[in-house]
Structure 1
Amino acid sequence: MKQTFTLKEKTKLILILLIPILITQLSMFSMVFFNTMMSGRYDSADLAGVAIGASIWNPVFIGLSGILLAVSPIAAQKIGEKNNSEVTAIVKNGLVLSVLIALIVIIAGILLLNPLLSSMGIEGRVYEIAFHYLSGLSIGIFPLFAFNVLRSFIYALGKTRIVMVILLLAIPINLVMNYILIFGKFGFPELGGAGGGYATAITYWFILFMTILVILKLQPYSTYKIFAGSKGIEWSKIGEILKIGIPMGLSAFFETSMFACVTILLSRFDVTTIAAYQSALNIVSFLYMIPISISMALTVVVGYEVGAGRNKDAKTYSWLGIYMAMFIALLTGLLIVFFRYEVASLYSSEPAVVALTSHFLIFALFFQISDAMQVTAQAALRGYKDVNIAFIITLVAYWLICLPVGFVLANYTSLGANGYWLGLTAGLLVAGIFLSGRLLHIQKHKFSYASSTAN
């Protein structure tokens, strides 16, 4: 990563970082897509089991990964300070933390998974698929969490293409393993939807192996000696990661669990409404990969500039990223609204589902703009390592505005399921406004231009 001087150079750098991150995110998203699509081709009960398994796993994974992704802003600031030994120490102890977190998740799964699935009252076949899908996925927890630490380190260096290449190589492996294990090809057992969990776990091990190989063999990664020698566990470094990472992880968890909760609440509606909502949400989630990718790039560049003491540049990057995300959200939202019937028909051939999905997609325009603003404002704050107030803002927005407003509008007005979309949009808009306000506050009072070095 290097210093930039003009708005054009800053925009170019964000795009250079952004595009590989976006492709990486889409590649990871495609694994869930392949699991869902191929399980649906196998049997509807397997599709339901995989969907339930994914709804349990996603909030847990995203929340805990949020903790480990704190390595990115911390390492970026250390790189900006040119403190390489501290970068190495943070990454090494991040890997230790990833192992500890993975162990906790596995133990919690052993103790709680059966009671949790039992409490959901799902039918036996779906219960069995969800359980075995998550059991298979658990084999990949260690490599997945370790990869997130190493990915954060690579991103902090401003090198995002290599991760993209690794994920692109992993996609065909995931697709082939899904085919083999779900349908029982080439002498392997026919596992149905549960095979998707095992296929994804195998893919995670491949991704980790390739990432370690890159860090060991290629510059500039090998310079940091991530896997050479050890001072033992440094609890102060783990504490530094947790101090930033826990609020980050909780914010991510509250957002994803809030969406999962809406899915559960919608179960009281008819099958057409549930199918249409899931289809619309899947489309929105796909488009969300763009602002979330911008946010990852934004955390790195802001953290780097803050570490280098160039606070004016950090501020410029912050607002450039926010405006870029909102503009792209506006464009993609308009495209989705304009082609909503064609997009909806990709998910279902039933006229009622297509009609209702296309109706829900009208809300996607306002939803996306609000979501883009809040996720990038939060990312810029992470670059400043300012996460505690952001955590409180997101907690209030998601659980005291999104859900209550959506529930009231959906159940006590004539809006029906539309009420949840309005509630989600209102909460995300409030989050975006207050997070942007917090960003302005810290830029003015904690990181003023006066303390900046030469730009």
Structure 2
Amino acid sequence: MHETATLREKLKLFTIILVPILITQISLYLMNFFDTVMSGRVGAADLAGVAIGSSLWVPVFTGINGILLAITPIIAQLTGAKSEHEVPNKVQQGIYLAIVLALLVALAGALLLNPILQLMDLETEVRHTATFYLVSLVTGIVPLFIFNTLRCFIDALGQTRVSMLIILTSLPLNVLFNYIFIFGKLGVPAFGGVGAGIATSITYWLVCGIAFGVIYKNKPFRMYEIFSNWVKPSLKEWWEQLKIGIPIGFSIFFETSIFSAVTLLMSVYSTYTIAAHQAAMNFASLLYMIPLSVGMALTIAVGYEAGGRRLGEAKTYSYIGISGGLFIAVFAGLVLYVFNDTVAAMYNDNPEVIELTKHFIYYAIFYQLADAFGAPIQGALRGYKDVNLTLVISLVSYWGVGLPSGFLLANYTPLEPFGYWVGIIIGLSFGAACLLARLFYLQKKLAKEKKQLAIQQHG
């Protein structure tokens, strides 16, 4: 990351940062995508079991990952302020915190998984797949959370291409492991949907090991000596990260958990309906990686400029990201509309599942438009380290507006399961509008404070 003088330079640098993040996010999500698609080839019960397992895992993973994402604006602002000597300590403390959080998640899963699944009206085969898919994933969460911390450090330096190469290396291996463990190849038993969890866990260990090697041996990371002179764990340092990370994590959790809640509420419908809903949501969520990546790139760019008190440049990056996210969202909507038959057929060959999936995809077109507007704004706000109000907005818009309206539409109108998707659209649109208002207010406030400071210094 470096300073830029013109709009053209900013567009070029932002693109250089964004494209590798986008490829990385899509590749990461493709692991879940291939889990779902390849499990669906075994049968509808395996697809539904992985769907239920994913609906429980994804909000937990994304919420905790949000806490770890605090490292990105912290490092970006330090480098923007030319305080690189503080970086190793921040990263080491982030690794310690990642390990603690992973162990807490594993403990919570051991205590709560069976009670939660027993509350759901699931077929025996679906419940078995969901349970052991999650048990398999848990064996890889320590290296996953450490990798995410290391990736935040790598990305905060603007070296997003490195993260991309690490993930691109591991993705084909994940597909290979899926093939082996789901379908039973090379002498390994066929685990069905459970095999997808085993394969993904192995992949998590691989990407963590690769990240350690890259940071230890390659420039510019080795100059920071992240793995030398380890400091002791510090609750004070953890709290600094948690003050930023907890609001980010809960904000992401409130957003992703509404999709999981909808999947769980749909357990009253047929296995085919659950499978079709998950298939449509899976592909639409893959497209969501685009605006999410824009938001992550904005956190780096805005954080770097805000750290150096270059507020005009930070504001320009914000508008570049938001407008770019909207443009891409329109294109993604067209892709969903034109290729809905092809997308639906990728997940299952059952005609009823395919037809239901196509109907869900039409609603996904509209919800991803609202999401594509809100995600870049959230990324910009994180760059400013403004995260507390975003938490409140997420809670109100998703759980106070989106889920209740979806429940009413699903249960008291002819929309039935599709009513939940309309509720999601309403909640996401409300949240995006509130986030935009917050961004305008914050930028105006910071500009006023900078102007007053300049007057005092020259007065």
Give the deviation of 1:430 after TM superposition. Answer: 1.0
Read off the aligned partner of 1:261 and give its amino acid letter: A
Q: Distance in 2 between the 1:3 and 1:33 partners?
A: 37
Q: 1:121 to 1:98 in 2, by over 3 A?
A: same
Does residue 31 (structure 1) correspond to residue 31 (structure 2)? The answer is yes
Q: Which residue does the alignment assign to 1:316?
A: 316
Write out aligned runs for 1:136-285 (5 A): 136-271=136-271, 273-285=273-285
Read off the aligned partner of 2:442 and give its amino acid letter: I
Contact map agreement 1:302 1:384 (CA 8 A) in 2: yes
Q: Which residue does the alignment assign to 1:300?
A: 300
User: 3-state SS of the aligned residue for 1:113?
Assistant: helix
Read off the aligned partner of 1:78 and give its amino acid letter: L
Contact map agreement 1:403 1:424 (CA 8 A) in 2: yes
Give the deviation of 1:42 after TM superposition. Answer: 3.1
Give the deviation of 1:259 after TM superposition. Answer: 0.5
Using the TM superposition, name which of 123-132 and 214-223 deviates more: 123-132
Question: Cα RMSD over matched residues?
Answer: 2.0
Does residue 80 (structure 1) correspond to residue 95 (structure 2)? The answer is no
Q: Distance in 2 between the 1:352 and 1:364 partners?
A: 19
Does residue 99 (structure 1) correspond to residue 99 (structure 2)? The answer is yes
Write out aligned runs for 1:372-411 (5 A): 372-411=372-411
Q: 1:353 to 1:203 in 2, by over 3 A?
A: closer
Q: Distance in 1 between the 2:387 and 2:238 partners?
A: 17
Contact map agreement 1:59 1:253 (CA 8 A) in 2: yes
Q: 1:227 to 1:447 in 2, by over 3 A?
A: farther
Contact map agreement 1:311 1:452 (CA 8 A) in 2: no
1:212-256 CA-to-partner distances (Å, cap 9, x unmatched) read 101000111111111001231122221111000001000111111
Q: 1:309 to 1:245 in 2, by over 3 A?
A: same
1:37-92 CA-to-partner distances (Å, cap 9, x unmatched) read 23233344333322222211111111111101110011100110111122211111
Q: 1:341 to 1:174 in 2, by over 3 A?
A: closer
Read off the aligned partner of 1:185 and give its amino acid letter: K
Q: Normalised by the size of structure 1, how large is the TM-score?
A: 0.94
Contact map agreement 2:121 2:267 (CA 8 A) in 1: no
Does residue 117 (structure 1) correspond to residue 117 (structure 2)? The answer is yes
Contact map agreement 2:120 2:264 (CA 8 A) in 1: no
Q: 1:87 to 1:424 in 2, by over 3 A?
A: same
Contact map agreement 2:52 2:263 (CA 8 A) in 1: no
Q: Distance in 2 between the 1:452 and 1:34 partners?
A: 53
User: 3-state SS of the aligned residue for 1:219?
Assistant: coil
Write out aligned runs for 1:303-452 (5 A): 303-448=303-448, 450=451
Q: Which residue does the alignment assign to 2:19?
A: 19
Q: Distance in 1 between the 2:46 and 2:363 partners?
A: 30
The runs of 5 or more residues in structure 2 that have no matched partner are 455-459
Using the TM superposition, name which of 72-81 and 116-125 deviates more: 116-125
Q: Distance in 2 between the 1:34 and 1:360 partners?
A: 20
User: 3-state SS of the aligned residue for 1:332?
Assistant: helix
Read off the aligned partner of 2:127 and give its amino acid letter: Y
Q: Normalised by the size of structure 2, how large is the TM-score?
A: 0.93
Q: Distance in 1 between the 2:419 and 2:32 partners?
A: 27
Using the TM superposition, name which of 178-187 and 372-381 deviates more: 178-187
User: 3-state SS of the aligned residue for 1:227?
Assistant: coil
Read off the aligned partner of 1:343 and give its amino acid letter: V
Does residue 128 (structure 1) correspond to residue 128 (structure 2)? The answer is yes
Contact map agreement 2:174 2:200 (CA 8 A) in 1: yes
- Between the two proteins, what is the percent identity of the paired residues? 50
Give the deviation of 1:390 after TM superposition. Answer: 0.6
Read off the aligned partner of 2:164 and give its amino acid letter: M
User: 3-state SS of the aligned residue for 2:346?
Assistant: coil
Q: Which residue does the alignment assign to 2:457?
A: none
Using the TM superposition, name which of 106-115 and 235-244 deviates more: 106-115
Give the deviation of 1:260 after TM superposition. Answer: 0.9
Q: 1:272 to 1:141 in 2, by over 3 A?
A: closer
Q: Distance in 1 between the 2:423 and 2:126 partners?
A: 30
Read off the aligned partner of 1:450 and give its amino acid letter: K
Contact map agreement 1:76 1:307 (CA 8 A) in 2: yes
Q: 1:270 to 1:192 in 2, by over 3 A?
A: closer
Contact map agreement 1:309 1:451 (CA 8 A) in 2: no
Read off the aligned partner of 1:226 and give its amino acid letter: I
1:389-436 CA-to-partner distances (Å, cap 9, x unmatched) read 010011100001111111112222233333222211111111111111
User: 3-state SS of the aligned residue for 1:99?
Assistant: helix
Give the deviation of 1:123 after TM superposition. Answer: 3.3
Q: Distance in 1 between the 2:362 and 2:453 partners?
A: 44
Contact map agreement 1:244 1:387 (CA 8 A) in 2: yes
Using the TM superposition, name which of 103-112 and 309-318 deviates more: 103-112
How many pairs align? 453
Give the deviation of 1:353 after TM superposition. Answer: 4.2
Q: Distance in 1 between the 2:272 and 2:155 partners?
A: 42
Give the deviation of 1:183 after TM superposition. Answer: 2.9
Q: Distance in 2 between the 1:180 and 1:270 partners?
A: 30
Q: 1:345 to 1:186 in 2, by over 3 A?
A: closer
Q: Distance in 2 between the 1:126 and 1:346 partners?
A: 20
Read off the aligned partner of 2:424 and give its amino acid letter: L
Read off the aligned partner of 1:26 and give its amino acid letter: I
The runs of 5 or more residues in structure 1 that have no matched partner are none
Read off the aligned partner of 2:135 and give its amino acid letter: S
Q: Distance in 2 between the 1:91 and 1:443 partners?
A: 29
Q: Distance in 1 between the 2:50 and 2:244 partners?
A: 32
